[in-house]
Amino acid sequence: MRRTSRIIRIRRSPDDHVTTPLTRRTAAVLAAGVLAVSLTACGGGDDDSGDDDKGGGTEETRTTVTLPKLDGARLQVAAVWTGAEQANFKKVLAEFEKRTGAKVTFVPAQDPIINFLGSKIAGGAPPDVALLPQPGAIKQAVDKKWAKPLGAEARAELAENYSQGWQDIGKVDGEQYGVYYKAANKSLIWYNTQVFENAGASEPKTWDELLTTAQTVYDSGVTPFSVGGAEGWTLTDWFENVYLSQAGPEKYDQLAGHEIKWTDPSVKEALTTLAEIWGKKDYVAGGANGALQTGFPESVTQTFTGGDQPKAAMVYEGDFVQVNIGETEAEVGTDAKVFPFPAVGDTAPVVSGGDAAVILKDSEAAQALVTFLASPDAAIVHAKLGGYLSPNKNVPDSAYPNAVQQKMAKALVDAGDDFRFDMSDQAPQAFGGTPGKGEWKALQDFLKNPRDVAGTQERLEADAAAAYGN
Amino acid sequence: MASDTAAGASKTAPAAPRSRKSVTGTRTTVAALFLLPALVLLGALVVYPIGYSVIRSFYDQSGDGFAGLDNYRALFTDDGIRTALKNNVVWVVFAPTVATALGLVFAVLTERVRWGTAFKLVVFMPMAISMLAAGIIFRLVYDQDPDKGVANAVWVGVHDTFAQSSAFPKAHPGRESPLEPAGGGAFVTKGTVSAGDTVTLPLVGVAPDVMPDDAKPAAPPEPEADRITGTTWQDFTRGKGVGTLNGVDASELGYAGMRIEAVKDGEVVETATAGADGTFSFSAKADGAQLRLPGSNFKEPYNGLDWLGPSLVTPAVIGSYVWMWAGFAMVLIAAGLAGMPRELLEAARVDGANEWQVFRRITVPLLAPVLAVVTVTLMINVLKVFDLVFIIAPGSSQDDANVLALELYRKGFAADQPGIASAIAVFLLLLVIPVMWFNVRRLRREVRR
């Protein structure tokens, strides 16, 4: 309609007036187009959730957990998830609502969630359940007497579905507080298969092979790595993988607890190794300055867009990268593939992360929700939607939507108790989890100036000493 | 003088009815009753929070122990806070003055153009956008990638019209190459060449889509007596890697237009340019020389300024602030301008003053009170700036763009230091008070007039 009216107007109007209505029209059409796009973007999410709810309802008949009837109960769940992650989790909550009749509201929280909860609790209105991303945060919540221990049903569900290691990191002083609902495998490197094919590169198994692969890719005219350095956590994850594999789990645990100093030779070695990639000219997309302004989502999308000539060939991060790949046209499993982080030392590292559900306001409904989250039922609903790994060993591989996902889930569950939890997540918030401070900032500075190993170590140690208080 | 008489009048006014009732005949109790809701609201929403912040600033992190002045000491010893303070000074000095100056220029100029109102509307429009949205807009404007960020697109466009980038930006020698880096981005052969030789200069790393359009499949060099012939080409076959290492394969492209220099004892004796198939040749003059691919072949495309890097981030954010608030200054100044006596301007013009003199000697002095109000209002506004910095500065340079209000937020909600955050809040309040006092006094004087 709009187009026809424009044509008519052009025909009728005298020549000297043609330009004005035309440009005005174009502007209007443009504006309307933008509006329409934003509207569909908003509407899209809602539609999806509606559809999938129905789909899930008919298809998902499996129930392994018995939940009480909770008609009229209201619950608030706080987590820092946004975008697709949040939308998918809401579908799990919807399943819980359907089974119990309780009404669950999702409360979007900001990082660091522990401070967000602090202000909520000070205001007298804490959410019933919160998903805490760090073991340190669980301990803090327990120390401040915010967290409530799990009831018998939740503990039973947990014992049935989780390996000892995953149960233990949810414990504080022997008491079970957290259910690790969501896990992340943070020892993965994603790559653009087209670029690897063009360059004739292959998946590396060791650090040296990784360097060779990077050189091959670079020789083909593509920058090897994309680093999302605007957010410091991607950098700490890089470091942790190198350190865990090179220095070994014992040192890793000591450094995580700040029992050894950051000025330790092992840290020097790890940083020097890291500089073999970060410090090499043209190995990082956009150079160090460009990388420092690249957010994590963009670091993924720029690796998987641009056809034969993406901005980078590989991007390191956890399994959740596939959520961002979903925003591009690349298909996980064909256009985007993954290989485990190569072994720098003797064995390849398995660094994991996770979000634990913790009860802040004890009630039958809150206990029921945590029990549900500990069950395979909740994990299966979420797994089908993609971008999610469960440490729950009773979730069948078939629940995951694709082969890549199944591979990652299997690796995670198979690692049993041999995984190590993300080091920066174990550190005090001020050191390991604050934008522009502590480890995040120190590694950003290191990315900018990879020659300054000693200076980086000193800064890390100074910040760590202040944050750990020793 | 005028204010003197006005003050005198106001002093005598309440002296006349010396009863307990005021002029309108209301009792003080009734007055108090009417004031109560406002007082309660003010007390609960303004006085109490201020008071509590002051008290909280004397307690430690947990809020249990009295910390004395420790939090205030931290204010002046903490590096983060000191950068924030320094940046705040930069903000307070530059943002209001630049915005006011631009507003003045716009106001004076729009008065004279035909479409003045339309122009004013456009300049004022950013005021209708929330700080958050403006922040997101400018995050994009300042994007490093010239394909995304307008600022860099313009900058690179201007730069590239004066300095061309080369065709082979990332070319480099591959494995076991006869070439080695020679500093300044140039590559030089390890050995020397002699007449009758053929030379291969293989490089890798040029993306296929930036190869010159006229590049043809590379041809192996044909030996010629008394001449040195050679080929320079991309030694990389799609999907196969290097193919024959340092040897020309069928589908490999020549580096059309690559410049090659023959260097003897540091002197360039002859230069050549590679043809479409990458072949080149030198005369016998180059006998015994080393062949060099000068750095100009490999110059990186100019990538623009690092707007949001540590050094430029504060000016960049101030720029976005000025974009928003110049319109505000312009509207206020234009209002002042409208109320200005025209006779003075006319008189000056009749006396033979030129436009600049009129502006400098008549308009600006007469507008001084308005300019002062605008600047002071913007100063108060600038002291509490938060959203623009928070959104525009990426995490990696947030430290360098830090301002007090942002540091307050970070200390209070990210670093869990409510004591120090409260101290910053009190400090900010102290900074605003003199400016506010100035504004209130000015306002009162205006009213009396």
Q: What is the CATH classification number for the domain harbouring B333?
A: 1.10.3720.10
Q: Does the CB of B309 have a partner CB in chain A at under 8 Å?
A: yes
**DSSP state for residue B253 in the 8-state scheme:** B
Q: Which of A420, A443, A459 is the last residue of a domain?
A: A420
DSSP letter at B302 equals: P
* Interface probe with B: pick from A20, A198, A215, A219, most Cβ of B within 10 Å: A219
Domain match, A357 and A274 both: no
Contact of A193 with chain B, judged by CB distance below 8 Å, is answered with: no
Residue B165 binned pLDDT confidence (cut-offs 50, 70, 90) = low
* Three-state SS letters, B192-220: CCCCCCEEEEEEECCCHHHCCCCCCECCC
Element (H, E) at B174: none
Backbone conformation region of residue B394, classed left if phi is above 0, alpha if psi is from -120 to 50, else beta: beta
Let me know: does A341 contact A241? Beta carbons within 8 Å: yes
Structure tokens at A427: 């550190």
Residue B55 within any structural domain of the chain: no
Q: Min CA distance, B272 vs chain A (Å)?
A: 25
Residues facing A184 on adjacent strands:
A353
What residues does A389 pair with on adjacent strands? A183
Does A75 fall in a domain?
yes
How far away is chain A from the Cα of B409, in angstroms, using its nearest Cα?
Answer: 11
Number of folded domains that form chain A = 2
Q: Does B243 touch chain A (CB under 8 A)?
A: no
Angle between helices B364-383 and B418-448 (to 10 degrees): 160
Are residues A384 and A441 located together in one domain of the fold?
no
- Indicate whether A46 belongs to any domain: no
Instruction: Please check whether residue A181 lies inside any domain of the structure.
Output: yes
> Are residues A238 and A111 part of one domain?
no
* Helix intervals (H) in B191-312: none
| Count of structural domains, chain B | 2
Strand duo A178-185 + A351-359: pairing: antiparallel
B162 SS3 class: helix
With H, G, I as helix, E, B as strand and everything else as coil, classify residue B248: coil
Q: Which residues contact A6 (CB under 8 A, 6 or more apart)?
A: A22, A25, A29
CB burial string A401-420: b at 16+ within 10 A, e below: beebbbbbbebbbebeeebb
The rounded distance, in Å, linking the Cα atoms of B167 and B27 is: 88
Which has more confidence, B390 or B178?
B390
Query: How far does the CA of residue B296 sit from the closest CA of chain A (Å)?
Result: 18
Q: With H, G, I as helix, E, B as strand and everything else as coil, classify residue B403.
A: coil
pLDDT, tens digit, for every residue of B30-78? 888 999 999 999 999 999 999 999 999 999 887 788 888 889 998 888 8
Is residue B25 less than 8 Å (CB to CB) from chain A? no
- For residue A470, the Cα-to-chain-centroid distance in whole angstroms is 31
Distance CA(B298)–CA(B294), nearest Å, equals 8
Mark yes or no for CB contact A119/B206 under 8 Å. no
More confident residue, B424 or B182: B424
Residue A16 included in any domain: no
The domain boundary, picked from B249, B281, B298, lies at B298
Tell me, what's the pLDDT at B29? 87
Question: Would you say residue B285 lies in a domain?
Answer: yes
Are residues A339 and A383 both part of a single domain?
Answer: no
3-state secondary structure of B165: coil
End-to-end CA distance of chain A: 72
- Per-residue CA distances from A13 to A22, A27, A461, B129 (Å): 10, 18, 74, 36
The count of residues in chain B is: 449
In this complex, do A220 and B303 lie within 8 Å of one another by their Cβ atoms?
no
pLDDT tens-digit readout, B403-443: 999 999 988 887 778 899 999 999 999 988 988 888 888 87
Contact criterion met (CB < 8 Å) for B207 and A221: yes
Q: Does A114 touch chain B (CB under 8 A)?
A: yes
Distance of CA A227 to the CA centre of its chain: 15
Please check whether residues A100 and A143 belong to one and the same domain.
yes
Q: Is residue B86 within 8 angstroms of chain A, CB to CB? A: no
Helix H, strand E, coil C: the string for chain A is CHHHHHHHHHHHCCHHHCHHHHHHHHHHHHHHHHHHHHHHHHHHHHHHHHHHHHHHHHHCCCCCCCCCCCCCCEEEEEECCCHHHHHHHHHHHHHHHHHHCCEEEEEECCCCHHHHHHHHHHCCCCCCEEEECCHHHHHHHHHCCCCECCCHHHHHHHHHHCCHHHHHCCEECCEECEEEEEEEECCEEEEEHHHHHHHCCCCCCEHHHHHHHHHHHHHCCCCCEECCCCCHHHHHHHHHHHHHHHHCHHHHHHHHCCCCCCCCHHHHHHHHHHHHHHCCCCCECCHHHHHHCCCHHHHHHCCCCCCCCCCCCEEECCCCHHHHHCCCCCCECCCEEEEECCECCCCCCCEEEEEEEEECCCCHHHHHHHHHHHCHHHHHHHHHCCCCECCCCCCCHHHCCCHHHHHHHHHHHHCCCCCEECHHHHCCHHHHCCCCCHHHHHHHHHHHCCCCHHHHHHHHHHHHHHHHCC
Question: What is the phi/psi pair of residue A425, to 5°?
Answer: -75, -20
Whether residues B206 and B339 share a domain: the answer is no
Among residues B276, B298, B320, the one where a domain terminates is: B298
Could you tell me the residue range of the domain that residue A442 belongs to?
A: 188-349+428-468
Q: Which two tokens stand for residue B100?
A: 């006011």
The answer to whether residue B22 is domain-embedded is no
Domain final position from B244, B274, B298: B298
Contact B327, B124 (CB under 8 A): yes
Which residue in B236, B303, B415 is closest to A430 by CB distance?
B415
Within 8 A of B395 by CB-CB distance, chain A residues are 230-232, 435-436, 440, 444
Distance of alpha carbon A236 from alpha carbon A229, whole angstroms: 10
Asked whether residue B73 is assigned to any structural domain, the reply reads yes
**Residue A413 in contact with residue A397, Cβ under 8 Å?**
no
A68 is a domain residue: yes
Rg (CA), chain A: 25
Nearest-Cα distance to chain B for A380, in Å, is 34
Q: Cα-flanking dihedrals φ and ψ of residue B233, to 5°?
A: -155, 170
Measure CB to CB from residue B414 to each of A115, A289, A309 and give the nearest one: A115
Task: Give how far Cα A366 sits from Cα of A128, A329, A373, B94, B316, Å.
Answer: 6, 40, 11, 54, 48
Residue B397 sits at the chain A interface (C-beta within 8 Å): yes
- B259 and B360 together in one domain: no
A328 touches chain B (CB under 8 A): no
* A331 domain-assigned: yes
pLDDT recorded at residue A255: 93
Interface of B with A in 145-164 (CB under 8 A): 145
pLDDT digits 0-9 by tens, B286-300: 888 888 888 888 877
A207 min Cα distance to partner chain B (Å)? 19
Q: Quick one: which of A320, A308, A347 has its CA closest to A228?
A: A320
Binned at pLDDT 50, 70 and 90, residue B203 comes out as confident
Question: How much is the pLDDT for B416?
Answer: 76
Q: How far is B410 from chain A, CA to nearest CA, in Å?
A: 9
- Measured between its terminal Cα atoms, the distance across chain B in Å is 10
Residue A111 is part of a domain; what is its CATH number?
Answer: 3.40.190.10
Nearest alpha carbon to residue B403 among B67, B89, B63, B41: B89
Best A222, A293, A309 residue to mutate vs chain B (most B CBs within 10 Å): A293
Q: Are residues B315 and B230 in the same domain?
A: no
**Do residues A249 and A109 both lie within one domain?**
no
| Phi and psi torsions of A419, nearest 5° | -80, 165
> How far is it, in rounded angstroms, from Cα A224 to Cα A221?
9
B38-49: burial string, b at 16+ Cβ within 10 Å, e else = eeeeeeeeeeee
C-beta atoms of A286 and B240 within 8 A: no
Q: Does residue B315 sit in the same domain as residue B438?
A: yes
Preceding amide of A112 cis, omega within 30: yes
Adjacent-strand bridge partners of B125: none
Q: Is residue A333 part of a domain?
A: yes
* Residue B181 contacts A where some CB pair is shorter than 8 Å: no
Q: B98 lies in a domain?
A: yes
Higher pLDDT, B248 or A285: A285
Chain A residue nearest residue B207, CA to CA: A221
Residue B158 inside a domain? The answer is: no
On whether both A98 and A232 belong to a single domain, the answer is no
The one-digit pLDDT tens for each residue of chain A (470 residues) are 333 333 333 333 333 343 334 344 444 444 444 444 443 344 333 333 333 333 333 344 467 788 888 888 899 999 988 887 889 999 999 999 999 999 999 999 887 788 888 888 888 889 999 999 878 788 888 988 899 999 999 999 999 999 888 888 888 888 999 999 998 889 999 999 999 988 888 899 999 999 999 998 998 889 999 999 988 889 999 999 999 999 988 899 899 889 999 999 999 999 999 999 999 888 999 888 888 888 898 899 999 988 888 999 999 998 888 878 888 888 888 899 988 899 998 888 888 888 999 999 999 999 999 999 999 999 999 999 877 889 898 888 888 888 888 888 887 887 777 788 888 888 877 788 777 788 998 999 999 999 999 999 999 999 999 888 77
Q: Give the chain B residue nearest A235 (alpha carbons).
A: B396
Query: Is B306 in Cβ contact with A435 (below 8 Å)?
Result: no
Do residues B402 and B419 both lie within one domain? yes
Query: Does residue B244 fall inside a structural domain?
Result: yes
Whether A115 sits inside 8 A of B308 (CB atoms) is no
Give the C-alpha separation, B318 to A346, whole Å: 51
* B145/A230 CB distance under 8 A: no
Q: For residue B172, list chain A residues with Cβ-Cβ distance below 8 A.
A: 219
In the block, tokens 């000074």 appear at B89
State the nearest Cα–Cα gap between B176 and chain A, in angstroms. Answer: 13
**B183 and B284 share a domain?**
yes
Least confident range of A39-48, A445-454, B241-250, B381-390: A39-48
Residues A210 and A337 in one domain: yes
**Can you tell me the distance from the alpha carbon of B12 to that of A462, in angstroms, rounded to the nearest whole number?**
68
**Binary contact (A221, B396; C-beta < 8 A):** no
Based on the domain organization, do A201 and A312 belong to the same domain? yes
The answer to whether residue B24 sits within a structural domain is no
Q: Residue B319: which domain range?
A: 64-153+307-448
A79 CA to centre of own chain? 13
Indicate whether A315 and A438 sit together in one domain.
Answer: yes
E strands along B224-327, which residues?
228-234, 259-264, 267-273, 279-282, 290-293
Q: Which amino acid is at A133?
A: P
CA distance B2 to chain A (A): 53
| Four-residue CA torsion sign, B135, B140, B141, B145 | positive
Residues A286 and A390 in one domain: no
Of the candidates A190, A217, A203, A198, the one whose C-alpha atom is nearest the C-alpha of residue A326 is: A190
pLDDT of residue B267: 85
- Give Cβ neighbours of residue B100 (< 8 Å, ≥ 6 apart): B329, B333, B371, B374, B375, B378
Residues A165 and A192 in one domain: no
Asked whether the beta carbons of A165 and A158 are under 8 A apart, the reply is: no
Buried b (16+ CB within 10 A) or exposed e, A437-467: bbbbbbbbbbbbebeebeebbebbbebbeeb
ipTM over 0.85: no
Answer yes or no: do B317 and B437 share one domain.
yes
B252 near A CB under 8 A: no
User: Residue B18: its pLDDT value, please?
Assistant: 52
Q: Nearest CA to CA, how far is B254 from chain A (Å)?
A: 15
How many angstroms separate the CA atoms of A457 and A465, rounded? 12
Which amino acid appears at position A209 of this protein?
Answer: E
Q: What are phi and psi of B213, to 5 degrees?
A: -65, -30
Q: Are residues B334 and B399 in the same domain?
A: yes
Q: Count CB atoms within 10 A of the CB of residue A44.
A: 10
Contacts of B308 in chain A (CB under 8 A): 293
Question: Is A187 within 8 Å of A341 (Cβ atoms)?
Answer: yes
Do the domain assignments include residue A10? no
